[in-house]
Amino acid sequence: MSGFVLTYFPVRGRAEAIRLLLSDQGVSWKEDEVQIADWFAGKCDIKKQAVFGQLPQFKDGEFVLYQSNSILRYLGRKYGISGGNNQESALIDMVNDGVEDLRMKYSRLLFLEFETGKEKYEKDLPNQLSAFEKILSKNSNGTKFLVGDKISYADYNLLDLLQGHLNLFPTCLSTFPLLNAFIDRITARPKLSEYLKSEARNKRPIVPKK
C-alpha cells in the first residue's frame, strides 16, 4: 500500500485530476469521504485543520498537503512526471497554471452563475480552448503530450477539465482535432482506462448534485 489518503467530498471536483494521476501511475490510495452536509453543518474537524479551510487534503503517511495543484506537483515530482529539466518543468507549470485559470472560470460558472452565464461562457469557450490546441500543435504536432515526450501532471489536469467541459457542452471540442486526439490517447492508457470504467469513478458526480 502507498499510504496515500485523499480526503474530499464524494464528487470528482478538484480531486479528480489527482485520482487520474494516481491510477495511471499504478498507485493505490484510500479515499476518505467527507459529506457536504456535515461539512457545512460544522461537523467536520478537518475544516479547522485544513490550512486554507478547504479540501482536498492529501496524506502521504504523516505528510499532509492541501491545494490540488500543489498535490499534483508533489506527485509529479514523486513519479518523475514533472519535467526532465528546469525549463521543461517550468513549461509544465505554465500550462498547468493555464488549466487552473480556466478551471476557476469553469467553477464560477458551475457554482455561481450557471443560469445567467452559460451562454456567454459557451461563446467564449473556443477562445479559451484554442490556447491548449495551440500548445499541443507545437509539441510533436499534437501527437504526444502538452510538454515533452512524457506524460506530466498537467496532462491529467487538462484531461479532467476537458471531460468536465464535454459534460456541459458536448460539442465544445468539435473544432479542436488535437484536443480530441489528446483525450482519446490519454484515456486509452491501460491503467487510466481501467480507472475510468471503475464503479468508484462512475459513482462520483462531477460536481455535487442539487
Percentages of the chain per state (helix, strand, coil), in multiples of 5: 60, 10, 30
Kindly tell me the burial class for residue 166, based on how many C-beta atoms sit within 10 Å of its own C-beta (0-12, 13-18, 19 or more). Answer: middle
Query: From the CB of 194, what's the least distance to ligand GSN, in Å?
Result: 26
Sequence-separated (6 or more) residues with CB below 8 Å from residue 161: 17, 99, 102, 103, 106
Q: Is 13 near ligand GSN (CB under 6 A)? A: yes
Longest pairwise C-alpha distance within the chain: 51
Q: Is 55 near ligand GSN (CB under 6 A)? A: yes
Q: Is 67 near ligand GSN (CB under 6 A)? A: yes
Which residue's CB is nearer to ligand GSN, number 159 or number 178? Answer: 159
Q: Is 68 near ligand GSN (CB under 6 A)? A: yes
Q: Is 107 near ligand GSN (CB under 6 A)? A: yes
Which region among 19-27, 47-55, 57-65, 72-80 touches ligand GSN (by CB under 6 A)? Answer: 47-55
Instruction: Give the single-character DSSP code of 31.
Output: E
The binding site for ligand GSN (CB under 6 A) comprises 13-14, 53-56, 67-69, 107
